[in-house]
Structure 1
Amino acid sequence: MSVLKWINVGKVSAERDDELVNYFYDNGVLNSVLTNKSSFLVLGRKGAGKTAVFRYLKENPHQYLSDKDILVSLSFEDYNWKVHSLLSNSETAESLAYKHSWRFVILVEVIKAYASRCAKDGVTVPQPIAKAQTLLEKLFDHPLPSVYQLIGRKLLGLSKVKLPRAGLDLEDGSFDSVEVSGGELSFEEVSADNDIRTALAQNVSNIIAYLEAALAKIQPCEYRTVICFDRVDEAWDNVSLDVSRKVLAGLVSASDSLTAKYNGVVRPIIFLREDIFSVLPLNDSNKLREDCGALLKWDRDDLFKLLLRRLSYFAQKNDVDAVEDLDGLFDKNEMRQRSKPSNYLLKRTMMRPRDMICFLSRTIDAVKESVNDPFEETPANFDHLPVEAIYTAEPGYSEWLRQELLDEWFIQYSHIVKLLSAIQNHASTQFTRAELESQLRALGVEFTQTGILDDLRFLFDNSVVGFKIGASTTWRYRCFYPSQGFIESDLYKVHDGLIRALNLKEPRDAS
């Protein structure tokens, strides 16, 4: 059978991949987070596979969670971010300004999930949880609304709620003194009236205190609630950047405090891009990254295993033997300069699944296009993929990788556009610091010596450039050598995956 009859590597985007569950590859990041009571962050570069991990956990919780665990998965594709601002406190640190509203969201979701699980299992809902559920239903509705509705008109409605002073008689579960006024308020009405905002904030504070007390009374809990947040960067754009930074910082701060407070019984887990986390206004971001986070990173073996699992799934689906060797797919074991096809592909990635999937998928498409060449009278029947197709696919893949880099960093580091333009104008794969300065100057970019060093560090940290150490002949890029720190060097080289997109030449070809 022609290899083109069955070969497939699935979709680049996990959100759109209906087959993901059939060939998901776990590199261990989920167990790393779930088995550590203090962890609540899953960080990774764009394309590292965070959404794939989130989706697989959501659809297969039994593989990672016990029978007594409750999973709540929240993906914020359509979410009213601006309502969070109504509960912000401008007098606190930026990282704490939105902590209040996120504590409210998480606690409501936990109470709702706990009561629902008790009903499902046919067990009596603990009295503190039952009372909290009753209060929330009186305030919001029965059944309780989704988080999308909650952070919207439902939350605005709390501006017209009258709670007992300090919530004292709520301790006994007597809600007769809770008054819920009719009518709705708009975001604009609440945001423009300080008295209404004050009432809203006070009501939310009282409810948070009540919900926290309810959960504290049932510890140790029979159930553990794992509440996962994915795609929280949906509002990460030029228009909403300032607010988004504070809102996400608030989510991290709230998750940190609740994780510590409930000793792992309430487990928020945030799937977040590493580049976004790095620019959040957090006081202890380095400590949080080290103590409370797991980095979704890949090594060579895991990346190849991921590809082989995908390829084997489609092969066996078409009654073809499983694929055990990536190089065995190709008609030659070596390419130019004696590089294996697998190494050639890997060297042009930034060690992310999305890169490998995209490059191999484009290589397959290049072979299919050659079969459908309108000027070829006798189409070839391929038993293997020709290695020449890799070269054919490379320019398009390289441009894709460049665009991925811009998508990843343009919002928080728009200077990347000028840096790539300067490198492209230099036209060589290798450059010195002075040559980069010269090209930036030609573009009219003002810079300082400290700024240039920061730019070079940024380029290295994101694997755009690498350098050599001492007498070594190996170019070291962060994606291939993650423990390598930045060192100011005499010469830098652009990542092989970007060379074609930037139309660069090796120094020996400059003439």
Structure 2
Amino acid sequence: MNILDWINVGKVSAERDDDLVNYFYDNGVLRAVLASNSSFLVLGRKGAGKTAVFRYLQENPHEYLRDTDILVSLSFEDYNWKVHSLLRNTETADSLAYKQSWRFVILVEVIKAHVSRCKKDGVAVPTPIASAQKLLEKLFDHPLPSIYQLIGRKLLGLSKVKLPKAGLDLEEGNFDSLEVSGGEISFDEVESDNDIRTCLAQNIGNIISYMEKAIAQTTPCRYRTIICFDRVDEAWDDVSLEVSRRVLSGLVSAADSLTAKYSEIMRPIVFLREDIFSVLPLNDSNKLREDCGALLKWGRDDLFKLLIRRLSYFAELNGQPPVDDLEALFDKNEMRQRSKPPNYLLKRSMMRPRDMICFLSRTIDAMHDSVNDPFADTSNVFSQIAVEAIYQAESGYSEWLKQELLDEWSVQRPSIIQLLSAIQNHASTQFSRADLEAQLAKLEIEFTPAGMLDDLRFLFANSVIGFKIGDSTAWRYRCFYPSQGFIESDTYKVHDGLIRALNLKEPRDIA
């Protein structure tokens, strides 16, 4: 049978992959986060598979959660940056300015989820939770609107709410003295009026205190609410960079404080790109990364198992036996420099699922192109994956990998464009610090010795370049050796996956 009749590796993007649930491969990061009461961050590079984990958890919560857990999943369309900006506290540090608005979002979701689950299970809603629900419904209608509606016009209406001055009625769950004015208020009205904004912030603060007290009084709690945030980086662009930095810092700070207080009642889990987390204005960001997060990283065996699971799904879907040996799929045992085909693909990846899926998918496309060649006298029939097709697909894949890198960093570190241009102009896969400085000078780009060292450190951290250690002949890249720190070197080499896109030559070829 022609292998092209069945072979497929699925889509590169988890958001668009309807078959993801059928071949999702779990490398353990989510279980690691849930197993620790202090963890709330799932970090990973672009393409590492964060959205795949998020989606699979949404569709298969029973594999990870307890029977008494409640899962709430919020994605980008559920957030409203504009309203978050109205609730910021301008008198606090950047990392805390948006903390209040996110605490409000999380606490409202916990109250809603708890009440809904109690009703579903036919058990009494704890009195403090019921009172909090009653307050929210007094303010925002019954039943409570979705978080998307709540963070929109509904929340703005809080600026017209008059809470009892002493707060006694709130504490006792009697809201008769609570005044809710009719009519809507616009974003522009709130934004332009400091008095309205002050009233809004005060009301939000009072309601947050009330909800937190209600949750604290419910301990020990029958249920635990898991609230997952994904795609919070969708607004990460050069237009809204500064606002996004502060908004995301607020989310992390809110998740941190609530997890520390109520980990057995609520567990916010934030899926976030590692590169974005690294530039957020957070206090103790290194401590948060180490103590409260899990890095979504991959090893060689896991990446190969991921490909095998995907290939096997499509094989069995077409009446073929499952794939159990990746190397056996290829028509040659070795490629250039005696590299086995799977290792050749891996060496040109940055150890991310998206890289491997893209390269292999483009290889399969290249085989289809040869079959459909309008100028060929005969049509090819492939019983295995053609190694020659890997070479044909490599240039396009390399361009894709370069663009992924630019998409990942061009907003928060636009100098990456200049650095790649300088490396490309040097034309060699290997260069020294002096070579890079000379090319930057030709491009009339200013730099300092300290800045140049920081740029090299940045390029290594993102596996654009590697170096040798001592007398070793092997080049070390961060993606293959995650624990390797940066070391100044006489010579650096560009990652194999970027060589074609930058049109570089090996030093011997240049001579």
> SS state of the match for residue 227, structure 2?
strand
**Letter in structure 1 aligned against 2:319:** D
CA-CA distance at 1:485 after TM superposition: 0.2
**Letter in structure 2 aligned against 1:498:** L
Residue 234 of structure 2 is matched in structure 1 by 234
Question: Runs of 5+ in structure 1 lacking a partner?
Answer: none
State the 4+ residue runs in structure 1 displaced beyond 2 angstroms. none
Asked whether the 8 Å contact 2:334–2:340 carries over to 1, the reply is yes
Distance 1:152 1:99 in 2: 17
Distance 2:76 2:139 in 1: 24
Deviations 1:435-493 (A, max 9, x none): 00000000010000000000000000000000000000010000000000000100000
Residue 407 of structure 2 is matched in structure 1 by 407
Q: Under a length normalisation based on structure 2, what TM-score does the superposition of the two structures give?
A: 0.99
Residue 217 of structure 1 is matched in structure 2 by 217
Query: Is 1:102 the counterpart of 2:99 in the alignment?
Result: no
Distance 1:143 1:51 in 2: 30
**Letter in structure 1 aligned against 2:70:** I
Asked whether the 8 Å contact 2:153–2:184 carries over to 1, the reply is yes
Distance 1:280 1:375 in 2: 54
Distance 2:263 2:204 in 1: 24
Distance 2:319 2:84 in 1: 53
Asked whether the 8 Å contact 1:44–1:274 carries over to 2, the reply is yes
Residue 34 of structure 1 is matched in structure 2 by 34
Distance 2:275 2:147 in 1: 26
Distance 1:504 1:263 in 2: 51
Query: Is 1:278 the counterpart of 2:278 in the alignment?
Result: yes
Residue 360 of structure 1 is matched in structure 2 by 360
CA-CA distance at 1:86 after TM superposition: 1.1
Q: Under a length normalisation based on structure 1, what TM-score does the superposition of the two structures give?
A: 0.99
CA-CA distance at 1:173 after TM superposition: 1.0
Residue 456 of structure 1 is matched in structure 2 by 456
Query: Is 1:143 the counterpart of 2:155 in the alignment?
Result: no
CA-CA distance at 1:264 after TM superposition: 3.2
> SS state of the match for residue 272, structure 1?
strand
Query: Is 1:472 the counterpart of 2:492 in the alignment?
Result: no
Residue 370 of structure 1 is matched in structure 2 by 370
Residue 395 of structure 1 is matched in structure 2 by 395
Asked whether the 8 Å contact 1:42–1:270 carries over to 2, the reply is yes
Residue 48 of structure 2 is matched in structure 1 by 48
CA-CA distance at 1:336 after TM superposition: 1.9
Residue identity over aligned pairs, in percent, reads: 79
Distance 1:12 1:22 in 2: 15
**Letter in structure 2 aligned against 1:321:** P
Deviations 1:281-315 (A, max 9, x none): 00110000000000000000000000000000000
Distance 1:416 1:114 in 2: 47
Aligned ranges for residues 81-480 of structure 1 at < 5 Å? 81-480=81-480
Deviations 1:331-351 (A, max 9, x none): 111112211000100000000
Distance 1:212 1:96 in 2: 18
CA-CA distance at 1:105 after TM superposition: 0.5
Question: Runs of 5+ in structure 2 lacking a partner?
Answer: none
Residue 71 of structure 1 is matched in structure 2 by 71
CA-CA distance at 1:78 after TM superposition: 5.7
**Letter in structure 2 aligned against 1:433:** R
Distance 1:160 1:166 in 2: 18
> SS state of the match for residue 46, structure 2?
coil
Of 218-227 and 138-147, more deviation after overlay is shown by 138-147
RMSD across aligned positions (CA):
0.7
Of 322-331 and 243-252, more deviation after overlay is shown by 322-331
Asked whether the 8 Å contact 1:89–1:98 carries over to 2, the reply is yes
Distance 1:20 1:283 in 2: 37
**Letter in structure 2 aligned against 1:139:** L
> SS state of the match for residue 90, structure 2?
coil
**Letter in structure 2 aligned against 1:71:** L
**Letter in structure 1 aligned against 2:240:** S
> SS state of the match for residue 227, structure 1?
strand
Of 447-456 and 184-193, more deviation after overlay is shown by 184-193
> SS state of the match for residue 334, structure 2?
coil
Distance 2:152 2:449 in 1: 48
Deviations 1:405-425 (A, max 9, x none): 000000000000000000000
Of 106-115 and 319-328, more deviation after overlay is shown by 319-328
Distance 2:107 2:165 in 1: 21
Of 324-333 and 207-216, more deviation after overlay is shown by 324-333
Deviations 1:207-262 (A, max 9, x none): 00100010011101100010000000111011111000000000000000000011
Distance 1:166 1:483, change over 3 A: farther
Asked whether the 8 Å contact 1:77–1:234 carries over to 2, the reply is no
Of 487-496 and 119-128, more deviation after overlay is shown by 119-128
CA-CA distance at 1:191 after TM superposition: 1.0
Distance 1:168 1:498 in 2: 65
Distance 1:231 1:335, change over 3 A: same
Asked whether the 8 Å contact 2:77–2:148 carries over to 1, the reply is no
Asked whether the 8 Å contact 2:29–2:295 carries over to 1, the reply is yes
Residue 510 of structure 1 is matched in structure 2 by 510
Asked whether the 8 Å contact 1:308–1:326 carries over to 2, the reply is yes
Asked whether the 8 Å contact 2:275–2:408 carries over to 1, the reply is yes
> SS state of the match for residue 469, structure 2?
coil
Aligned ranges for residues 489-500 of structure 1 at < 5 Å? 489-500=489-500
Distance 2:208 2:267 in 1: 17
Asked whether the 8 Å contact 1:158–1:204 carries over to 2, the reply is yes
Asked whether the 8 Å contact 2:78–2:147 carries over to 1, the reply is no
Distance 1:309 1:479 in 2: 23
Of 260-269 and 28-37, more deviation after overlay is shown by 260-269
Asked whether the 8 Å contact 1:166–1:206 carries over to 2, the reply is no
**Letter in structure 1 aligned against 2:14:** A
Aligned length: 511
CA-CA distance at 1:166 after TM superposition: 4.4
